[in-house]
Structure 1
Amino acid sequence: MSIAENIARVREEIARAAREAGRDPGEIVLVGASKMNDAGACRAAIAAGIDALGENRVQEMVQKLSENAYEGAPLHFIGHLQRNKVNKVVGHVDLIQSVGSLSLLEEIEKTAAARGLVQDILLEVNIGREEAKSGFLKEDLPAAAQAALSMEHVRVLGLMTIPPADAQREENIRYFQEVQALYVDINIKMFHNGLKYLSMGMSGDYADAIRAGATMVRVGTAIFGARDYSK
């Protein structure tokens, strides 16, 4: 199937899941996770009406920016971001979804201040408490949000999470529900209902994420096809 056909199929599934949860399908933002797909694939997704494109790797993103791959759609950075690569991302993307440490938050603030801009971000939640994964533990999230609120050059628009890869479906759903509860709580108590995005769910579980309250899903292989990691 073509990228356009895949996007249409994913949107049908998004609509079905949203309706099952009594929600408006129009409130779900579809981000095409375009890692390891070339500029042509990105342009095809944009032509087919993708809401945004998301990149995981800074070097790949920089290359595709030079090829005008994202023209016509917002660009998100959705992968692990190292502090020494923040300068290549801040101001070049519409949203950084993966801000999962205070040191990274501070580096983004410093770089955005130097460039005279405000960078939109999501705070990443390490809901599975995985030692090898970045993200704030749920008990540390309020302090991280408070730190971000004190900064003049970052703007928190919501939360993002990735459940453990080996979690069973029932566990996944519970993780999604936990983060949705965190989102509602922090939105009311700290952001006065100003948050917009709860980013959770990928190709294998985005329908469950939507039923649990996601407003943004990051879908790669279901749109672009299986990635070839041998290259």
Structure 2
Amino acid sequence: MAINLDAYNEVLSRLKPYHARLVAVSKTKPAEDIAAFYAAGQRIFGENYVQELTEKQALLPADIEWHFIGHLQSNKVKFIAPFVHTIHAVDSLKLLQEINKQAAKQQRIIYCLLQVHIAAEETKFGMDEQELQQLLQAYQADPSAFSQVRIAGMMGMATNTTNETQIRKEFHQLQQLFGSVKTTYFNNETYFKELSIGMSADYQLALQEGSTLVRIGSLLFGERNYSQM
């Protein structure tokens, strides 16, 4: 077990002044590592793969708040709909509609974050601003069609670079877009409040740019071992 409780406590201390929350990203890590952080008080855990999430959820305490943070295919929503709390990477209207459909079958509400493409890499997922506006207009036109989801905020991934100026610029642009979307579409909704930006290497910049949820894995769990997946 390679968990780092000192790093965990340091991250929590850095989040506190910003009133931000930690999503401990446990992908590729065993359930016992998650249990160790659970024993230390952590309750929000993030996973990137549907099968891995469903397997771990069955083994771990029921009060864990599971966040799905990876790219999600519509045909796999049904497997996590019974228990997932928040889906960070909603990158299409089709996916939002499917989440609503599967949440209705489970008679529960699923919180969703709209993923916007802010990075230089084309390989990263997320909507452009036109696609985002189309989704929001569809949502606004018929809110009753989305009664089982709550659009709770937005998510983005910065460019994988050591250029802090570029990273800060990308985070700032998303923060500005978040404010505009809130004013236009969710001004009276208290649940639209989450800005999910920042990972192990850049979370401190993200906090300065308004992050409310940081997604941190390797700092806490050590490097990932994809060969065991």
The normalised TM-score by structure 1 is 0.88
Other-structure match for 1:190: 185
User: Retained in 1: the 8 A contact 2:199–2:215?
Assistant: yes
Note the residue ranges of structure 1 that are not aligned, 5 or more in a row: 16-23
Matched with 2:216 is 219
Any idea what SS the aligned residue of 2:95 has? helix
Match for residue 170 of structure 1 among 165, 168, 173: 165
Deviations 1:3-42 (A, max 9, x none): 3222102123334xxxxxxxx33x2011100001111111
Output the CA distance in 2 between the equivalents of 1:5 and 1:77: 25
Aligned pairs for 1:8-157 within 5 A: 8-15=9-16, 24-25=17-18, 27-68=19-60, 70-128=61-119, 130-149=121-140, 150=143, 151-157=146-152
> Could you list the per-position Cα deviations for residues 64-93 of structure 1 after superposition, in whole angstroms to 9, with x for gaps in the alignment?
11212x544311001111111110122311
- Does structure 1 retain, via aligned residues, the 8 Å contact 2:161–2:167? no
Match of residue 5 from structure 1: 6
Provide, for residues 167-199 of structure 1, a one-character-per-residue CA deviation record: whole Å limited to 9, x for no partner: 722111100000000111111111015312100
Does the Cα contact within 8 Å between 1:29 and 1:51 map onto a contact in 2? no
- SS at 1:157 equivalent: strand
Percent of matched pairs sharing the same residue? 35
- Equivalent position SS for 2:88: strand
Stretches of structure 2 that go unaligned for 5 or more consecutive residues are none
Structure 1 residue identity aligned to 2:152: L
Question: 2: CA distance between counterparts of 1:2 and 1:33?
Answer: 12
Preserved CA contact (<8 Å) 1:127 1:138: no
Provide the aligned length of Structure 1 versus Structure 2. Answer: 221
Map of 1:18 onto structure 2:
none
> Could you say what secondary structure the match of 1:180 adopts?
helix
Pair 1:168–1:40, CA change in 2 (3 A): same
Q: Which moved more, 1:199-208 or 1:138-147?
A: 138-147
Q: Which one-letter code corresponds to 1:214 in the other structure?
A: S
